[in-house]
């Protein structure tokens, strides 16, 4: 059974960089036809897709965040990562990592989520 687990600082100062890692277990991140995504959810609000990376390393980002986001993969550690630069309070949210299959683009597996607060 595939499992995903987010990790990273829970508090980031304004204008600094948010960095999160998602560790995948129960399967190789580089096998199969999957996209690995980041999704976030501000408290009491809906879900926002941030972007994804394919097993080949190609990426797609939400245009609303594209200038500030980088998603990368480390196949040796079975992890993928999110970097969001120049953060503000508007970036405070629960951040989820998720696996998307490239057949029907469904988010079948999710991490438990990690709260990141942007505050000085």
Partner 1 sequence: DIQMTQSPSSLSASVGDRVTITCRATQSISTYLNWYQQKPGKAPKLLVYAASTLQSGVPSRFSGSRSGTDFTLTISSLQPEDSATYYCQQSYGTPYTFGQGTKLEIK
Binding site for partner 1 (CB under 8 A): 46-49, 52, 60-64, 96, 98, 100, 104-108, 110-113
Distance in Å, CB of 5 to partner 1, minimum:
11
| Beta carbon nearer to partner 1, 3 or 19 | 3
Collect all residues with Cβ–Cβ distance below 8 Å to 49 and sequence separation of at least 6. Answer: 37, 38, 39, 62
| Beta carbon nearer to partner 1, 9 or 113 | 113
Distance in Å, CB of 3 to partner 1, minimum:
11
Class of residue 93 by CB neighbours under 10 A (exposed 0-12, middle 13-18, buried 19+): buried
Distance in Å, CB of 120 to partner 1, minimum:
26
Distance in Å, CB of 114 to partner 1, minimum:
11
Q: From the centroid of its chain, how far is CA 44?
A: 19
Q: Which residues pair with 98 in a beta bridge?
A: 37, 110
Residue 89 backbone phi and psi in degrees, to 5: -60, -25
| Beta carbon nearer to partner 1, 12 or 38 | 38
| Beta carbon nearer to partner 1, 52 or 84 | 52
């Amino acid at each position: 059974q595939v499992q995903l687990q987010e990790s990273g600082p829970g508090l980031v100062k304004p204008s600094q960089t948010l960095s999160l890692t998602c560790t995948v277990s129960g399967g190789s991140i580089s096998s199969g036809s999957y996209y690995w995504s980041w999704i976030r959810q501000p408290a009491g609000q809906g879900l926002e897709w941030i972007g994804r990376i394919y097993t080949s390393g190609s990426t797609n980002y939400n245009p609303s965040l594209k200038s500030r986001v980088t998603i990368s993969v480390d196949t040796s550690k079975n992890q993928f990562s999110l970097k969001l630069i120049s953060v503000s309070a508007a970036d405070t949210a629960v951040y989820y990592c998720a696996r998307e299959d490239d057949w029907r683009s469904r988010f079948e597996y999710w991490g438990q989520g990690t709260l990141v607060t942007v505050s000085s």
